Amino acid sequence: MTRLTSLAFAAASIAFAPVLAAQAQVVDTTTFQVRATVVPVCTVQATNVDFGVYRANQAAPTDATGSITVRCTLNTPFKLSLNGGTVTGSTILNRLLSSGANTVAYQLYVDAGRTQIWGDGAQGVSHSGVGTGTSTTVTMHARMPPLQFQPAGIYTDTITVTLEY
């Protein structure tokens, strides 16, 4: 190529460069959705009920409390039920603590007045609520009747909390 032809070719290339650059910048767009299905969920935790030292000769009952904490997705209805415990012979309506073969009576209640036995709804009442998205703490009210003259020892029971939602 001659120098003049090279210059003409270069000038032509420069003249068409904006057209090629404009064609290279053609943009195409699209959209897409982001999706999640939030399902109702709940979690439950419980603290122990500890009556501390029980003196059988006291005329008044011995009271204690514990708590159940529930966290459910917003607006999720839930129900808390308690079983009768693990001590042989214990039922929801007649809960027992045991130390070996020895037992003493106690009860768990939904209300502070200790009038509504906390059970499963068939025996006693259950506790119902609606999830707030944050933790909700429910108090368990417990009572041991007085004048249970059983052998000294550490008496225990294990209760199962059932959370339905």
Which domains does the chain carry? 42-164 (2.60.40.1090)
127-130/77-82 β-pairing: antiparallel
Low-confidence ranges of the chain (pLDDT < 50): 4, 7-8
The pLDDT, as a whole number, for residue 14 is 57
The pLDDT, as a whole number, for residue 26 is 85
pTM > 0.95: yes or no: no
Q: Are 79 and 165 within 8 A, CB to CB?
A: yes
The pLDDT, as a whole number, for residue 7 is 46
The pLDDT, as a whole number, for residue 24 is 74
Residue type, 84: G
SS (H, E, C) 44-60: EEECCCCCCCCCCCCCC
Q: Are 85 and 95 within 8 A, CB to CB?
A: yes
Please report the DSSP string for 4-19 in residue order. Answer: HHHHHHHHHHHHHHHH
Distance CA 120, CA 140 (A): 14
The pLDDT, as a whole number, for residue 102 is 98
Distance CA 86, CA 97 (A): 9
Closest residue by Cα to residue 51 from 146, 136, 163: 146
The pLDDT, as a whole number, for residue 19 is 54
The pLDDT, as a whole number, for residue 119 is 98
The secondary structure of residue 24, as a DSSP letter, is H
The pLDDT, as a whole number, for residue 4 is 47
